[in-house]
Structures are given as C-alpha cells and as structure tokens.
Amino acid sequence: MAISNPGELDPLLVLGASRRSPTSCSPRLAGTAIMLVVGLERTAFYGLSSNLVLLLNSIQFNWDGVHAAIAPQVLAAVMYASSPLSGWLADAVLGRFVAITLSLCLYLGGALFVPFLSNRDTIYQWCGYQLEYHIENSSCLSEKGVGASSMKDNPECSTQPQYCIGIIYGGLVLMGVGVGAMKSNITPFGADQVRVLGPGAVRTFFFWFYWTVNLGTVVALGVVCYIQQNITFFLGNSISVSCLVASTLLFLAFWPTYVSRPPSGSPLSRLFHQCCGYLGGVLRKGQVLVNGEEEVQEGLQRDSACEREGDVHIREMERSRKSLSYILLVFLALVPYWMVYFQMQTTYLLQSLHLFVPSFSSSNSSSSPSHTQLPAAWLTLCDVLLLLLLIPLCDRLIFPWLDKRGRLPSPLLRIGLGMVCSLASVMTAGFLEMVRLQKVQKGKVREQWIGGVVYNAADLSIAWQLPQFALIGVGELLTSIAGLEFAYSSAPRHWQGAVMGFFYFFSGLGALLGGALLQLMALSQSGWMHCKADFGNINGCHLDYYYFLLGFIQVVALLLFTCIASFHRH
C-alpha cells in the first residue's frame, strides 16, 4: 500500500541517507522497536507504582493509609490530565519523535526520585529525620482503635505530618507528566511505522502493542513487586528505573528507522489565519483605486486565490469538527466501561484480599508473619496472563479466519461486545460478593497474612474470582484494543495525538468517577460502603450493591453507545 502523499511521512534519517521503501523491513523493525520500548516502560511504570502505597505506609515514611492511597491517585490524575495537551503539542508544534523524547526525559527525572527515596540514607539527606510521634493521651484511642471521633475533638490528639511530602509529590507530578505525554504519542507513532503496510498491519500492531504492554506488566507485578516486598524496595525500584533507562536508550537507538510526520501546526491557528485572509480580501475589494487599477487587480486575484484556499480549509475543519464530535461521543459512552475496568485494580483486589488465598509457607500457622508472603499485586495477574494467551490466538487464528469469510468485526462492534463482557464481569463479582458476605455472617472466616497485614477472609477460595477476571480480560481484549484502533483510524491526521490523548483522558476520568462513586457511598452513615467500624475491612459493607450499581450504569452506557454507533452508520 503506497502513501498517497510521499512527503507526508518523512523518515528520521541522517543527512544524505536514502529514503527507505515501503517494501523494506524497516516498517516492521521500527514497529517492533516501539513495542520493546513500551514493554520496558510498562515494566518500569508498574514496578514503581504498584507498591507505592506499601512504600509510603512502611516504617520509612509512616504515612497513614488514606494519604498513602492518595499518592498513586495523584500520579494517575496528572498522567491522564496531561495526555490531551501533550498530544496536541506533538501534532501542532513538536512532532511526535521530539515529544516522546522529551516525555521520556521528564519521566526518567521523576522516576529517579523513587529509588533514592527508598534508601534510608538518601531520605535523611533530602528530608531530614522524622519527628518522633507518640500518643501520650489514652483518650486518643477508642475501644475500636485509632481513628475514633475523640481524636478529632481532643486538642491533645494530633496526626503526624506526612514525612517528605513535598519531594515525593514533586517527583510524582514530574513522572505523571512524562507518562501522560508518552502514552498519548507513542501509540500513534508506533502505528505510523506500519501504516504503509496496510490496515491489516495496523490492526496487528495494536494487538501486539497491547500484548507487550501486558508482558511488561507481568514482569513488574511478578518479579519487581516480589523483590520490593520480600527483599528491599531500593533494589526493586532500581530495577524499574533501569528498565526505563533501557527503554529510553532503545527508543533513541532506532531513530534512523522511524517514520515521523513533521508538526502540522495548530488546526485552529490555520483556520484563524485563513479567516483573516478571507476578511482581508473582502476589505480589499472595497479599497479606493489609489495605487492604480492594475496593481489592485493583481491584489484581487491573490485575494481570490486566498478565498478559495480558505474555503477549502474551512470545509476541512468542518469535516474534522464533525469527526471529532463523533469520536468524543464514543469516548464519553466508554466512561462507564472504564469505571468497571479499573475495579480490577481496586475493589476486585480488595475482594481478593477477603477471600482465602493459598500461602507459600509450608507451616500450618496462618498468623505467622515469618513465612514468605504472597505479594498483593500478584492477585491482578489473572487478567494479564489471560490477555497474553488470547491476543496471539485472536491475531493469528480467530481474526484471520473471520477475515477470510468476510465476517471480521469492526472496531465499534468489538467495543460493544467488550462492554457486554465487562457488564457480565461486574455482575459476576456482585453475586460472588453476596455469597462471600453470607459466609462471613455465618462465621466462616479465617485470618490470613498478605503484605504484612492480617485480613479476615471468608472461607471461600479466591479461585471463584476467575470468572470475573476472565470476563474483564475478554472485555479488555475487545474494547481496549479496538478503542486504540478506533482512535487512531478515525481521527483526522492533524489531530491524532490529541485524540489519543483524549482516549487516555476519558479512561482516567472513568477511573476517577468509579473511585468518587465508591467514596460517595462511604460518606453517609447509611451508605453501602460505610464500614468505618471495621477500619478498612469490607466484611461490614455491601460491596455487592456497588457492583450492581456499576452494572446498571454500564447497561445505560451500552444503550447510549448502540445509539451513537447506529446513528453514525446510517
């Protein structure tokens, strides 16, 4: 498949080097390099962020649970909020190669804070020594433990300030901006490398791009998080930063093979200049013939050409506006899907901790903290491993088989099917939670150690969570990958980076709305998730009601998505 405009995509070659041909191995080589870059970056990201709560809650920092849980949310908020702006800057000003390079530098600058802050000597040099904190008044403790209302009412009861908070949040914000800028640009940049090979190659790229993302996640959760939790945080975080350094060097090493569009300038700025040229032509027509009719006639001819060019750009902008409106409506309809998807990393994990989890220890004692503990982050690996299995199966067998028979589903159809799977997942989780609570109410509870914390788990195997993780995995395979393909293929060429940024922005919005809804249900005394008496234990809550509410929201979103897709098709 040839490029319609030979000058549209320019290889990043050294001066004097020949342009590569579309039939060479360079497109596949460049696409593979991008996948490796992303795989290493994902290993670094999840290695640095997955156990961030445990690090801040450890004895090195002594942050309370609420503030420790807010830190990764701040990282996610900055990451998703910066994605649209970063994509627009790459499209209009910097170009994607330069934007990705700068984002990796910012990313690396913020990530370097984490291993340094994992080292006790560095912490003391940067933040000083922690103030000793003692509870001198027994009234600060109620019968149910710390956190009672007496602490708030008694002036002698004070909370410990968050140690080293300025440096930690500074590093997280810097890292979040770098991650957001990279996410919004690396995906369309990678797809640009293989676009010359045809739409089938683009679809295959997105499949394997997502596969490498999940492979990096497996390495981070399965190896790095284990090292952090059972050896030292410093070693685990150093490995993560090393992966990020390797990712940056690998991206720069392959720059001669890359194809990159130069920045096209802001579409809004171009429209503004064309409108000004059009208005200037109108004013010129009324100009008094002071400089002679011939000179004015030449000016009118130039203005007429500008008007025609302006009309073309205005029509182009109108088409882009309609296309963007449709794309953003689809992204908006996907927000409830993301609300359900991110339960896998939050409430699904919380539910896992309150189900019976097999121990690595050969000892029969379930309360001994001396045995090797199961890293809490491992409980999310089921979905990731399923994707590693299903993506090659779909790309090599299922989709080619459907394509030969002319029944290959469109990206929109795959998105809709994925939303149905996520609906089935959250409803399955709700029914499992009902059964789990029934076990708890009957006293069928056992204590278990995970991550150095004792959990009162129902006498129900964690294996019962496999169906909901499998369903959310299939939904991710269909919706998330098809969403990336839809965002890239449907966006106007000069808006691709910004549109990809909006894709990640709306996914982050779904995560924040899901968390906000959960927090809202915990505020009222009669709220379904108001279980303060248990201090984080969900055995006194109704997480099942929350799941069913998410299911209802997903049904409404699915109907809205169906209407949007049908309207666009007709």
Is 350 in contact with 538 (CB distance < 8 Å)? yes
Q: From residue 207, how far is each of 149, 200, 391, 393 by CA, in Å?
A: 52, 11, 6, 10
Look-up of token digits 């006194």 = 540
Q: CA-CA distance, 214 to 224, in Å (whole number)?
A: 14
Encode burial over 541-570: b for 16+ CB neighbours within 10 A, e otherwise. Answer: bbbbbbbbbbbebbeebbebbeebbeeeee
Which positions of the chain have pLDDT values less than 70? Answer: 1-25, 53-54, 57-70, 73, 118-163, 165, 264-318, 320-321, 359-380, 450-453, 522, 524-537, 568-570
pLDDT in tens, 486-517: 887 877 777 777 788 888 888 888 877 887 78
Q: CA-CA distance, 402 to 394, in Å (whole number)?
A: 10
What is the gyration radius of the CA atoms in the chain, in angstroms? 27
Encode burial over 175-196: b for 16+ CB neighbours within 10 A, e otherwise. Answer: bbbbbbbbbbbbbbbbbbbbbb
The predicted pLDDT at position 551 comes to 93
List phi, psi (to 5°) of 456: -85, 95
Is 423 in contact with 562 (CB distance < 8 Å)? no
Strands 355-356 and 453-461 turn out to be parallel
The predicted pLDDT at position 272 comes to 52
The DSSP secondary-structure symbol of 93 reads I
The predicted pLDDT at position 58 comes to 63
The predicted pLDDT at position 69 comes to 60
Q: What pTM was computed for the model? A: 0.70
∠ Cα 497 500 504 (to 5°): 135
Q: CA-CA distance, 246 to 79, in Å (whole number)?
A: 21
The predicted pLDDT at position 318 comes to 66
| Helix, strand, coil percentages, rounded to 5, for the chain | 75, 5, 25
The predicted pLDDT at position 11 comes to 43
